Amino acid sequence: MPIDPKIALGAELPSREFSWTPSDVQLYQLGLGAGTRWTEPAELRYLDDRTPQVLPTFATVAPTLHETEPPRVSFPGIDIDLAKVVHGHQEVEVHRPIPAAGKATSTGRITELWDKGSAAVVVQEQTVTGSDGAPLWTARSSIFARGEGGFGGERGPSTKTELPDRAPDFDVTTPTLPQQALLYRMCGDRNPLHSDPEFARAAGFPAPILHGLCTYGIVCKTATDTVLGSEASRVTGFRARFAGVLYPGETIRTRIWRQDDELTIAATVVEREDAPVLGDVTLRFSAA
């Protein structure tokens, strides 16, 4: 079914009630590589059995943690083959630190729809409210759907964050595991692009790729550990554009520039001559 912008744009998405436990938080953060510094108290705070501190990027998996079926790209006026879709960008704004356990409700809508000619970009926003009625976080994301353009919409903005014209304040490398995607998919993202070699080849990749949201979480954790002393509660927002792919087992290079209450970040792949993997990355934080 082609995209119908008259139906899709502004469409309300089904609300969802969900909950999570400290074990869910531990699983997610293990999926990002938490525990590498297994004797350091700051690192072990991510994996505490009762009250693990929660990275804001947990918001990207919390509503779908226990799903075991591949996701469907089906919204009002939109129905797209999963093999055509890649993540465009992701942003999480937390209104208060995410608790180690909780119940919440998410509501969402399609906020933007752009026609790139050969592809379409679909932007959605999800607002999550805790069981106490107070807002927890707002998540905004986009998908890039190959072959789904040409429906007559506007092309949309094209913006790019310029990196500072100086050496980074921090330059960190983070290895990933060969089984990183197989571990991370236990957090509810069962897209076969990350686990099935034949599906990945059919989608145009030589092998399964790491989830973009896994890379997203790894880079957020790296910046939090490096600049904020592993104090996840200080992060108030994290945004990135998915600029390239990372294969499990490759190494992420994270360059970080600090200015006031914001970090500008570039994430690249060491083994492929610093090919970009995340771009337009910003992390906002509060004072200690």
The residues that are catalytic are 189, 194
At 8, is the secondary structure helix, strand, or coil? helix
Phi and psi for 11 in degrees, rounded to 5? -65, 140
Residue for token digits 């009762």? 50
User: Letter for the amino acid at 265?
Assistant: I
Give CA separation, 14 vs 80, 109, 173, 238, 243, in Å: 18, 9, 40, 25, 29
Q: Are strands 135-146 and 85-94 parallel, antiparallel or unpaired?
A: antiparallel
Report the C-alpha gap between 238 and 224 in whole angstroms. Answer: 11
Q: Starting at the edge strand that comes first in sequence, how are the strands of the sheet with 135-146 ordered? A: 12-20, 102-115, 119-130, 135-146, 85-94, 235-242, 275-285, 262-269, 251-259, 170-175
Sheet strands (E) in 131-167: 135-146
